[in-house]
Amino acid sequence: MDNQPFPSDVSEWTWDTLESLAESGQSENRYLEYKRHLEYPETDTNKSEREWKRDVEREFTAFANASGGILIFGMNDDGRPEPFEPPEHEISRTVYQIVQDTNPVVRTDVSAPLQTPSDDVDTVALAVRVHEATRKPVATSDSAYYVRINDNKHPMGREQIESLFIEADRRQQAVRQLEMEIDRFHEEYETAIRKRVLPNSPPPFHLIDIELLRQILRENNHLYTDKNLRGIMLGIFTQLSKIDSQERYYGRVVNGVTDTHHLDDIDQFNRTQQGELKEKARRLNELFEQLTQQAGLDAMAD
C-alpha cells in the first residue's frame, strides 16, 4: 500500500483525508473499500442483519487473505463522504464485533473517529486498516474463504485454498525453526559469550552459526510485510554481517595475512576481539528479543 494516495497508518487519517479522496475521484481498488454503514442499517438495505454482517466480515477476510487494505466506513460507493452517527459504546468495539469470529482473527488498526467539520452535526467516518494475515487462509465465521482481487472480494477456489494451507504449513515450520535457533543463540550468548571467563583465548565465533541464521531468516520472508519487523530483520542481517567480517579479519591476522603486528601480543589481540564480539552478540541478542516480542514468537521465554 506504500504507493497509494492515502496513508497506510490510519492514525494519520483526518476528515481532510476523506475530502482529498473524494475530490480526486479515488475509486475503490485492491487496497481500498468504501462502506456507508458501520452498523446494520435497518431502513437502508434489503439484507437481513445476519446477511449484512456476514458481507462486511467477508470484506475483512478478503483483505487479510490478499495484501491487506483499508475499509472506510462513512463513504458511499461513489467515493463521497456520508458520515454516520457514532455508536454509544467505543467505536473500535464495533469493529472487533465484526471480526471476532474470523479464524484466525483478522488483525486491524482503527482510526480515531473522523469528525465532520461542522460543529452542528455529530456524525463521523472511520478508517480501518486490515493487515495481511500471517496465517492464511483466513475463514469467515461460516467457514468461507474470500480474497481481494482488484476492487472486489471473490470466493477462493479449492486450489487457492489448498495452496494457502500448504504455504501456511511451510511458514509454520519456518517459524518454528527460527524460534529454535533464536533460543539456541540466546543460550549460547548467556552461557558462553556474555559470561565468558577465558580472556586470552580466541573469540568463540563458532558459537554463532551465521549462515544457518541467515538461511532461516530468509525462509521467514513473510515477516518483511510488517514495516517494523522489516527494520528489525534488516538490523539482524547487518549485525550478522559485522560478526562475519570480524571473524574473517581475525582469521587473516592469526594466519599472518594482514596486520601481523597483532601477533606480537596475541593475548591482548584475543581480549580485544572477544570484547568486540561480545558487544556485537549483545546487540544481536537485543534484536532477537525485539523480533520475538513484536512477531509473537515462542522463543526466549525464560
In one-letter notation, the amino acid at residue 8 is: S
**Is 151 in the same domain as 187?**
no
pLDDT at site 238: 97
**Is 84 in the same domain as 137?**
yes
Residue 301 included in any domain: no
Give this prediction's pTM.
Answer: 0.69
- CB contact at 8 A, 85 and 48: no
Q: In sequence order, what are the beta bridge partners of 139? A: 103, 145
Nearest to 236 by CA among 208, 258, 263: 208
Q: What is the DSSP letter of 298?
A: S
**Can you read off the three cell numbers belonging to residue 56?**
462486511
Q: Looking at 136, 156, 176, which one is the last position of a domain?
A: 156
**Is 97 in the same domain as 177?**
no
* Beta strands, E only, the chain: 32-35, 69-73, 108-110, 114-115, 124-130, 146-149, 152-155
Tell me how long the chain is. 302
Q: What is the dihedral of CA 119, 120, 122, 123, to 10 degrees?
A: -90
Q: Looking at 106, 140, 156, which one is the last position of a domain?
A: 156
**Is 171 in the same domain as 145?**
no
Residue 138 included in any domain: yes
**Is 169 in the same domain as 287?**
yes
Interatomic CA distance for residues 235 and 17, integer angstroms: 33
**Is 183 in the same domain as 143?**
no
Residue 2 included in any domain: no
**Is 147 in the same domain as 14?**
yes
Q: Looking at 156, 189, 221, which one is the last position of a domain?
A: 156
Q: Which domain holds residue 174?
A: 163-295
Residue 106 included in any domain: yes
The CA angle 216-223-287, to the nearest 5 degrees, is: 70
Which residues have C-beta within 8 Å of that of residue 76, sequence separation ≥ 6? 34, 36, 82
Give the chain's domain count.
2
Residue 188 included in any domain: yes
**Is 86 in the same domain as 151?**
yes
Q: What is the pLDDT along the chain (302 residues), one digit of tens a residue?
A: 667 889 999 999 999 999 999 999 999 999 999 999 999 998 877 889 999 999 999 999 999 999 999 999 999 999 999 999 988 888 999 999 999 999 999 999 999 999 988 766 789 999 999 999 888 899 999 999 999 999 999 999 999 999 988 988 898 899 999 999 999 999 999 999 988 777 789 999 999 999 999 999 999 988 887 888 999 999 999 999 999 999 999 999 999 999 888 889 999 999 999 999 999 999 999 999 999 999 988 877 55
Percentages of the chain per state (helix, strand, coil), in multiples of 5: 50, 10, 35
CATH code of 117's domain: 3.30.950.30
**Is 138 in the same domain as 176?**
no
pLDDT at site 301: 57
The CA angle 203-208-210, to the nearest 5 degrees, is: 120
Residue 278 included in any domain: yes
Q: What is the DSSP letter of 131?
A: P
The CA angle 109-287-274, to the nearest 5 degrees, is: 175
Residue 226 included in any domain: yes
- CB contact at 8 A, 269 and 160: no
pLDDT at site 97: 94
**Can you read off the three cell numbers belonging to residue 275?**
570484547
